[in-house]
Amino acid sequence: MIYLDHAAATPVSPNALRAMLPYFSEDFFNPSAPYLPAKRVREAYEAAKNDIAHAIGAKGTDLVITAGATESINLAFTAASYTSRSKILALVTEHAAVLEAAKNYPHELVKVDKNGLIDIDDFRKKLSNEVVLVSISLANNELGTIQPLAEISELLRAVRQERLRQGIATPLYLHSDASQALNLLDINVARLGVDLLTLNAAKCGGPKGVGALYLAHGITLHPLAVGGGQERGLRSGTENVPGVIGFATAVKETKAHLSGNRKKYQEMASALRQELAHTSIVAHKPEKVKPIFLGNPKHQLVSFVPVCFPGLDAERLIYKLEQEDIYLSTGAACAANKGSKSHVLAAIGLSDDEIAGSLRISLGATNNPAQIRQSASLIRAAVEQEYQRLAKRQ
């Protein structure tokens, strides 16, 4: 099996799973119970939260543990309940969780350029005094495009000062969904200048069903669910102890191997791009076509190789490659499942035809160079066959 869809899900790392196991069985206690073994579970849970927080330059008490990125994003957006007219700005290419959550508030979407990078002029234009929350993913889940968050937060700082000068009390927060970036970038909340940051265990070798929201001091959020008052009242319910232990172990591991993994993924991605660039295309239309690599590698997660084969049906390619035990996708899993066309690829200006011929390849911990060489030639062969098939039909 060659798995090329790490942006959709990652296996739980063996170390993370090993760390989780005792908390299912012998150390199963409710961390809020009053006896010693339960208090030890509480300590392990809080230590794990600290480990996750340290990886982004924060403290454990700055985090709210959630059931995943979607919940974190929805919780973060409650900061926009400041007034009923408070507005959210989000990138047009954000994940469905951001775009759907934004619909619960007055909101506007900010354009991107052909590489998926924020259109700063459009952003400035839409940054009116009603805007309370700006949501820009650190790295896009289909293109891997890394947004210039530090630059954006500088701009927001200037806007805050201007509001202060004008006596406007409306706060202005920067939220970023870092789901795709945690295992590929060195993240520091202070350096990025974010007020809210969404993390997802399942994209970096941790278990599904666990996420976190980093929350700077002084931001008022409204819990999505209330009850026993866990997570400082922001997220009630018995803590998912094994999940958080697994998340922390995966984060520490990914952090320890960050530069080595980046180098490894970069080399593999580069080999894959080279092989695919040489795909011999028998054009089925009079025009000469060639593969289009989406995004700009200078501003892209090193593990992402989103590529468009104009005129082809990417779903047929996925099916063909599945026969060779190569697994990849057309875009976000939740969208792919519904057969809807990618709003991300539309936003960077691809035609419907180009969107239909696009693959998202995302490398990760399960890959090695030999696998990538093998899959590159198999993907190339599948693409060439498809183009030949189409040429014959004409």
- Residues 81-110 binding a copy of itself (CB under 8 A) are 95-97, 100-101, 103-104
First CA to last CA distance, the chain: 35
Q: Among all chains, which residue has been given the structure tokens 């939260």?
A: 49
156 vs 182, beta carbon nearer a copy of itself: 182
- The verdict on whether 204 is a catalytic residue reads no
Tell me: does residue 37 bind a copy of itself (CB under 8 A). Answer: yes
- In the complex, minimum distance from the CB of residue 142 to a copy of itself, in angstroms, rounded to a whole number: 13
Tell me: does residue 332 bind a copy of itself (CB under 8 A). Answer: yes
Sign of CA dihedral 201, 202, 203, 204: positive
Helix (H) or strand (E) holding 173: strand 173-177
Cα–Cα distances (Å) from 192 to 110, 137, 156, 178, 210, in that order, read 19, 12, 12, 11, 23
Q: How far apart are CA 71 and CA 73, in angstroms?
A: 5
Catalytic member of 224, 334, 346, 390: 334
Choices 182-190, 234-242, 297-305, 372-380 (CB under 8 A): range interacting with a copy of itself = 234-242
103 vs 288, beta carbon nearer a copy of itself: 103
Q: Which two tokens stand for residue 259?
A: 């530069």
160 vs 327, beta carbon nearer a copy of itself: 327
Provide the edge-to-edge strand list for the sheet that holds 292-293.
292-293, 304-308, 358-362
Cα–Cα distances (Å) from 389 to 16, 356, 361, in that order, read 46, 17, 23
110 vs 202, beta carbon nearer a copy of itself: 202
Q: Among all chains, which residue has been given the structure tokens 């990125």?
A: 69
Q: Which of 12, 19, 118, 182 binds a copy of itself (CB under 8 A)?
A: 12
- In the complex, minimum distance from the CB of residue 51 to a copy of itself, in angstroms, rounded to a whole number: 18
177 vs 354, beta carbon nearer a copy of itself: 177
Residues contacting 218, CB < 8 A, separation 6+? none
- In the complex, minimum distance from the CB of residue 315 to a copy of itself, in angstroms, rounded to a whole number: 7
- In the complex, minimum distance from the CB of residue 140 to a copy of itself, in angstroms, rounded to a whole number: 15
Cα–Cα distances (Å) from 310 to 278, 285, 330, in that order, read 15, 10, 14
Footprint on residues 210-229 left by a copy of itself (CB under 8 A): 210, 224-229
Q: Which of 145, 254, 330, 375 binds a copy of itself (CB under 8 A)?
A: 330
Tell me: does residue 15 bind a copy of itself (CB under 8 A). Answer: no
208 vs 290, beta carbon nearer a copy of itself: 208
Q: How far apart are CA 245 and CA 364, in angstroms?
A: 22
If binding means CB under 8 A, how many residues of this protein chain bind a copy of itself? 74
- In the complex, minimum distance from the CB of residue 53 to a copy of itself, in angstroms, rounded to a whole number: 19
5 vs 354, beta carbon nearer a copy of itself: 5
x/- map, 163-202, a copy of itself, by CB under 8 A: ---------------------------------------x
Helices (H), the chain: 14-24, 36-54, 69-76, 96-102, 120-126, 149-165, 189-192, 241-256, 258-277, 314-322, 333-336, 343-347, 352-356, 369-393
Choices 156-164, 213-221, 335-343, 376-384 (CB under 8 A): range interacting with a copy of itself = 335-343
Tell me: does residue 238 bind a copy of itself (CB under 8 A). Answer: yes
- In the complex, minimum distance from the CB of residue 227 to a copy of itself, in angstroms, rounded to a whole number: 3
Q: Which of 108, 195, 239, 386 binds a copy of itself (CB under 8 A)?
A: 239
Choices 62-70, 120-128, 159-167, 258-266 (CB under 8 A): range interacting with a copy of itself = 62-70
Q: Which of 10, 135, 140, 342 binds a copy of itself (CB under 8 A)?
A: 10
Q: Which two tokens stand for residue 198?
A: 């969404």
Q: Which of 165, 217, 288, 338 binds a copy of itself (CB under 8 A)?
A: 338
Between CA 10 and CA 17, with CA 14 as vertex, the angle to 5 degrees is 90
Q: Among all chains, which residue has been given the structure tokens 């468009």?
A: 308
Q: Which of 185, 209, 275, 320 binds a copy of itself (CB under 8 A)?
A: 209
Cα–Cα distances (Å) from 283 to 287, 310, 356, in that order, read 7, 10, 16
Catalytic residues: 334
